[in-house]
Structure 1
Amino acid sequence: MKAGSRFLNAVSAVALSAGIVSTGASVAVMASAVAAQAAVIQRVDVRGAQRVGPEAVRSNLSIQPGKSFTNADIDESVKRLYATGFFSDVQISVSGGTLIVTVAENQLINQVVFNGNRKIKDDKLVGIVQTQPQGPYSDSLISSDIQRIKEAYSAIGRSDVEVTTQVVPVAEGRVNLAFVINEGERTKISAINFSGNNAYSDGRLASVLQTKESGMLSFLTRKDVYNEDKLRADEEALRQFYYNHGYADFRVISSEAVLNEAGNEYTINITVDEGQRYKFGAVSVESTVDGVDAAQLQGLVETREGSTYSARDVQKSMEAISRRVSSAGYPFARVVPRGDRNFENNTIGVTYLVDQGERAYVERIEVRGNTRTRDYVIRREFDISEGDAFNQETITRAKRRLEALGFFSSVNISTQAGSSPDRVVVVVDVQDQPTGSFGIGAGYSVDNGGVVLEASVEEKNFLGRGQFIRVAAGGGFDDTQTYNFSFTEPYFLGYRLAAGFDVFKSATSSNSEYDYEEQGATVRVTAPITEDIATTLRYTYKQIDYIEDGAFGADNAPGGGDDQVADPYIDAIVGSTWTQSILGHSIVYNTVDDRQNPHEGIYASFTQEYAGLGGDSDFYKAYVRAKMFYTLSDELDVVGSLSGSAGHVVALGDNLNVFDQFKIGGKEVRGFANSGIGPRQDGDAIGGTTYFTASAEATFPLPAVPQDLGFRGAVFADAGTLYGSELARDGTAVGTGMSIRASVGAGILWNSPFGALRFDYAVPVAKEDFDDTQEFRFSMANQF
């Protein structure tokens, strides 16, 4: 027994002196608790770090020579070394005054390749995986990369993708890694079903959702991809739709996606409870903040008693009051709406209470989820930054701005507790979406018997910087050629100033006697005045050439030979080059709810131009246009619009030139060609000094056509006039009087993957014999 005791004591002594304790996970940490608490080493011996180097290992240790350490320091050092990803095994032991760190190095990645991928290209996958050439081979990192690849394929509707890996040794300690991808078949959405909805049809509700049923063009739009997060966003879109149309008690009872594995397609079922529809009751403003007069804030309220309840109008009222109070020196004041439901007459009275909120500051703004858009593009939409007073209304306004950019399929802003009770972390979660588009436009002239085509490519978020670029080119039956290039920087010099330029060139053969060419450039700056009002200052320089046609002959130039055409209009312009130097200013008021599919709001602009800073033109021109949208039927989704425009130009010098005057046509009064209305000289449009136009239109979903396809029908009536030409003084021109032209017609609008397109057929019901008509028109459906 004594011998055994002596042997055990000897073993214990050796164990204590060596300080060896087994810890598992291929790591041996040897120390007794008592020894480790008082242990001090003199040096660190690193073994096995051939490629990484001993110093890289020492830099990741929390144990330093000459300083005492504990078991917690050993654990922390092991964790740090594993976290580098360079080691497959780590052992730490103590021998006398030496800390021995033994490591086994991971293999290094020589090359990363992808096999079997067709739907997602290599350059996209390289940005998704974290395993990189010259980096360590890590099983855990590769497993997470496989999951990232699967998530990327799920985002394009291929949730059954299979991803495996192949490892090929190429040299000692180096391997090539291949991700082998079996993309599988794309899942689809066969149907989106609603139950519980009475006020709105299934088609109307489906138009609100981002998720769409599969169709012929789904391979372009990718909107028929099921995603749980997107379905949650669709639930919120439904809530906002109902809340903004009077249904304050609306609820989404359930939403589910059922996968038919045989057909590899989903059926989405959404059950809702609409509740009652409300109108606004009494509306008032109260304040508990000293110095804030509630009566002065009443005029900022956009909700009106008797109108249909709208959560959007409540939010706008809160933001308007909050901005006014904050600018008055109360940054922490908050606006809280209190609702008073009256179930007997289905009204909701709203009291906007202004009180002193808690003092809180923004610790930081954290942006997540943006794979393409730069962080600063997102941050600059906030009116607050780190260190500023936290204000919820400012956050809500930033969310609306981010959504309006069109860069993201979803935007969610939340808050988290900061490092102290008065600090708040603002978290911005976004999901990028495609922002480029291809557009086509065309027109057909009955009189000239030909087609004019235009193609354009635009990018709203160039290189993720938020910059806008558009390139367009077109041509037509009358040798028309047009070229345009536009660029806009929305935050010039870091300010909320949209600065940009346009370069343009066009050429056309108006008739057999001369060709017309125009080229020039515009520089512009736009500044916001309020959320709904903006002002633009621009400068344009043009060069205009009227070139003799080959049939005309050199002797027919102005001042030429005996065969010169006796046409004072032609004599005045053919063979000459003219220039314009124009300074312009515009004010725009815009409250339209949705540029792609407007239902409510007003768009109005007033523009004035002065030409005379050099060039051949000297005039003052002013014109205005406005368009109002109003929902005629919520249930049927019928939207009406009224629009009008007017303009007048006066000469500041001797006379106006032909290119100084207004020209109108099919863009203003459908059924007529461009420049097809107004004074004419020998068949040529010479323009007028004054014009008026008006239009009424109603759009609606096409019967028997799923609304998910983006088609809408339209019926319209247009009218207008152009008169008062300065070039008709000899009495030979026609159409100088104030004769009204009018047309009626129908059209089809298509919010296509290539952009918003429109096809119109219009019949002139009031016209002059000399007008140029164009019954068919195919164009970009620019609402504004």
Structure 2
Amino acid sequence: MMRILNGAFALASRGLRLFVVAVVFSTISGVAEAQQFRFTNIQVSGNQRIETATIISRSGVTPGQALSGGALNDAAQALRASGLFETVDLIPQGSTLIINVVEFPTINRINFEGNNRLSDAELAALVRSRERRVYSPSVAEADVSAIVEAYVNEGRINAVVTPSIIRRSDNRVDLVFEVNEGGLTEIERISFVGNRSFGETRLRGVLETKQAGLLRVLIGRDTFVADRIAFDRQVLTDFYNSRGYPDFVVQNVDVALTRQRDAYLITFNVQEGQQFRFANVSVSSEMPEADAAAFQNIVRLRPGVIYSPELIDRDIARIERLALRQGINFLTVEPRITRNDRDLTLDVDFVLVRGDRIFVERIDIEGNNTTLDRVVRNQFDIVEGDPFNPRAIRESAERIRALSYFATADVQARPGSSPDQVVVDVNVTEAPTGSLSFGGNYSSDNGFALVAGYSERNFLGRGQRLNFDLSTGENNRVISFDFYEPQFLGRDLGGGFSLDYRTTDNENALYDTETFRFSPSFSFPVSENGRLSLFYGLEFTDLTDVSGERTDPPSDRASLLIFDEADEGGVLTNSLGYSYSFDTRRTGLNPSAGVLLRFGQEFGFGDSDFIKTTALASAETRVFREEITLRATLEGGYLAYQEGASRVTDRFFMGSRVMRGFEPGGIGPRDADTDDALGGNAFAVARFEAEFPIGLPEEYGITGGAFVDVGSLWDVGDFRSLSESDVLYNEFTPRAVAGVSIFWDTPLGPLRFNFTEPLLAEEFDNTKGFDLTVSTQF
């Protein structure tokens, strides 16, 4: 019992002491808080650059003002928060307040040490610290974060940056960023989970991010960048949607580091869903003035076509354009889609509804320091005062970006001065559009050549293209000049001209040629994928340096036909012509296939009358989960003279670009005595090839191929001094060649290696078993 009483007494005594301490502390705090200061004088010490009045003003203390201890503490915190001082002390001395400060030093120099991957200039552009300005530790720490992030984007996630200062006289410091770049952390593997319809090779080809390969130093896309992964998610979604998978979703992207932290492993987890096709396609109208039947006729969607949102957008654009032509404003198209999960089809009903009555108040263009406003405005189908059409604005934005004049181009609509008006803002950042190049070019047809060129895509900011090229090779020299105005007279009419002068030292024949051509032209669209060009040609051709004399033995002279043609001297020809092209390789209904058609004719008059006809039909498609590309091309030409006769400078020749496996002039009519290639007035060739992966990682850029070419060149025309028996292969004589190819897509240019074997060849044909094409600039 006594022990219990003693314990209770101890607890009571301890509680009493705590109560007394709390009361004393509360009393002292209340006294401190209640203590009032009133300063009639404020003195500042330690400041060198900053004016005394500025410091007093930032403190918020006014002479004669009654202040509490808490207010004095707030004044000190305000001065520290200004970022101008290393230390701040406020000392009350009677009626005087003394403010002692130590200013942050001024940055004398900024240096970077240990950096190799990024230059001093690149790092200096990242930091906010500046020489001859006040040093701020918080700004320096932000600079460290910016430098580290730049190294992370370069694939060096282990980079360490340490800021240090070196004290100098007069309160100055040198700011040094010490960089330890660390090793390169590349993307070792990109894999996919959940993909069934397309293989990993095809899907990796879609992504902007690449795996590290042999050319890791030049590729620049084999390092992990978070923004790039976000872009890849959208690209992958667009890829699947355009191929009929509306339910496709990227569930997540797993990014992991290897145990050694020297490589990334990226896994895209996807859910493909089912592939859908279009079924019923209809147009209905909720606007009395819009006849649904008239709009139904222009819809291109057909039942059975694989679903693609791009196809729906194109039909919406067609409907809107027709509405504008009919004078129906503010028409909006709502595609209402009905899913039929049982048969995996989609019914589409294009509903014509009345949109909001909104007009374009004005179009503001900013950031175009060089490019004229009219170049940007020409990409808009609308002007101020027209009804506002969001789709037209988006299409204009795409056209502006496609110009390639700008590094960035942002087009946005914002409210105007009234609720029924909008302002279209176009903000661009200009990019370099000119280039001066020197380099080398090699082809097995023409050998090695030195080339120099000047190119400007936006000449004087007018959107005009200017090109000048000079090439001198082993057996030819070329000088060319081209000028093109894409918006002639402010319309979608391209106009321009070309000058071309070339000479050849023909190694395969005992003569040389000289050609000059001047050709102005106009081109304009005639359909969604078709374009027509009209041109005039003024051409001068001459044959020079014909070897030997007519009386020499055949082994010591050129063909008598060449002598006859050279005796005609230089020939001046005038011509008018047209060329029509139809290209769906990028804008067609099928994203994995495309067609290119070209047909042109040139009508000559003057010294000679002729009709020169050329045609080309080419198709391309992807098969076997889009991993194999199949291509087929049919090409031909025919030259017919009504007056005069063709010369060797006019007739067709078939080099390896037209038919592989033969030397330039290796097939076609030739002089039986001298073996001179004479060219032909007609040619036809069919080229079939397949390109496929050969098991190497796709980041190496190496694929394989196989091809078969079948064709012929014939009809020399007027024999002149020769007889028909003196010309070999003047009739249609088919040739065929088969081969394999290695494609290597390098940052320096695409390389193609062809290994060929003739299947059908004549005795005097000149075959070629290997062909290499490479082009580069430096």
TM-score range, shorter chain: 0.7 to 0.9
Q: Is the 8 A contact 1:360 1:424 kept in 2?
A: no
Write the mapping of 1:529-568 to structure 2, written as runs, cut at 5 A.
529-538=526-535, 544-548=541-545, 552=547, 556=549, 567-568=560-561
Work out which of the residue numbers 756, 764, 771 in structure 1 matches 2:765.
Answer: 771
The match for 1:197 is 195
Any idea what the Cα deviations from partners look like across 1:208-251, whole Å, max 9, x if unmatched? Answer: 11111111112212121222221111111111111111111111
Any idea what the Cα deviations from partners look like across 1:126-179, whole Å, max 9, x if unmatched? Answer: 665667778887777766665555554444334444556677899989988766
Work out which of the residue numbers 683, 690, 696 in structure 1 matches 2:688.
Answer: 696
Q: Secondary structure at the match of 1:239?
A: helix
Moved more, 512-521 or 486-495: 486-495
Q: Secondary structure at the match of 1:685?
A: coil
The match for 2:650 is 660
Work out which of the residue numbers 27, 32, 37 in structure 1 matches 2:58.
Answer: 27
Distance 1:521 1:348 in 2: 54
Any idea what the Cα deviations from partners look like across 1:451-504, whole Å, max 9, x if unmatched? Answer: 55687889786899785758574635xx44556666666567876547464655
**1:271/1:603 CA distance change after superposition, 3 Å:** same
Residues 1:569 and 2:600 aligned together = no
Write the mapping of 1:73-92 to structure 2, written as runs, cut at 5 A.
none
Work out which of the residue numbers 567, 581, 589 in structure 2 matches 1:588.
Answer: 581
Structure 1 residue 282: Cα displacement: 0.7
Moved more, 196-205 or 182-191: 182-191
Any idea what the Cα deviations from partners look like across 1:661-696, whole Å, max 9, x if unmatched? Answer: 222232222222333332223323322223322233
Give the gaps of 5 or more residues in structure 1. Answer: 1-7, 16-21, 33-77, 90-103
Residues 1:257 and 2:255 aligned together = yes
**1:160/1:191 CA distance change after superposition, 3 Å:** same
Q: Is the 8 A contact 2:500 2:517 kept in 1?
A: yes
Distance 2:382 2:56 in 1: 48
Work out which of the residue numbers 689, 703, 727 in structure 2 matches 1:712.
Answer: 703
Residues 1:516 and 2:513 aligned together = yes
Distance 1:565 1:641 in 2: 40
Moved more, 364-373 or 399-408: 364-373
**1:242/1:659 CA distance change after superposition, 3 Å:** same
**1:311/1:513 CA distance change after superposition, 3 Å:** same
**1:748/1:385 CA distance change after superposition, 3 Å:** farther
Q: Secondary structure at the match of 1:306?
A: coil
Structure 1 residue 23: Cα displacement: 12
Distance 1:158 1:143 in 2: 19
Residues 1:630 and 2:621 aligned together = yes
**1:584/1:395 CA distance change after superposition, 3 Å:** same
Higher gyration radius (CA):
2
Work out which of the residue numbers 728, 732, 747 in structure 1 matches 2:719.
Answer: 728
The match for 1:329 is 327
Q: CA RMSD in A?
A: 5.3
Identical aligned pairs, as a percentage?
Answer: 30
**1:391/1:510 CA distance change after superposition, 3 Å:** same
Q: Secondary structure at the match of 1:708?
A: helix
Work out which of the residue numbers 578, 599, 603 in structure 2 matches 1:606.
Answer: 599
Structure 1 residue 637: Cα displacement: 2.2
Residues 1:742 and 2:739 aligned together = no
**1:442/1:594 CA distance change after superposition, 3 Å:** farther
Q: Is the 8 A contact 2:443 2:774 kept in 1?
A: no
Structure 1 residue 310: Cα displacement: 1.9
Q: Is the 8 A contact 2:454 2:469 kept in 1?
A: yes
Q: Is the 8 A contact 2:684 2:712 kept in 1?
A: yes
Equivalent residue letter for 2:584: T
TM-score (norm 1): 0.73
Moved more, 713-722 or 276-285: 713-722
Distance 1:594 1:155 in 2: 34
Q: Secondary structure at the match of 1:773?
A: coil
Q: Secondary structure at the match of 1:758?
A: strand
Structure 1 residue 117: Cα displacement: 4.5
Distance 2:668 2:660 in 1: 14
Work out which of the residue numbers 207, 214, 220 in structure 2 matches 1:216.
Answer: 214
Distance 2:531 2:320 in 1: 21
**1:360/1:111 CA distance change after superposition, 3 Å:** farther
Work out which of the residue numbers 650, 655, 671 in structure 1 matches 2:640.
Answer: 650
Aligned residue-pair number:
695
Distance 1:574 1:123 in 2: 65
The match for 2:27 is none
**1:464/1:271 CA distance change after superposition, 3 Å:** farther
Give the gaps of 5 or more residues in structure 2. Answer: 1-34, 43-52, 64-77, 88-101
Q: Is the 8 A contact 2:511 2:558 kept in 1?
A: no
Structure 1 residue 747: Cα displacement: 2.0
Equivalent residue letter for 2:511: Y
Equivalent residue letter for 2:682: T
Distance 1:710 1:581 in 2: 46
Distance 1:217 1:314 in 2: 40
Moved more, 209-218 or 505-514: 505-514
The match for 2:611 is 620
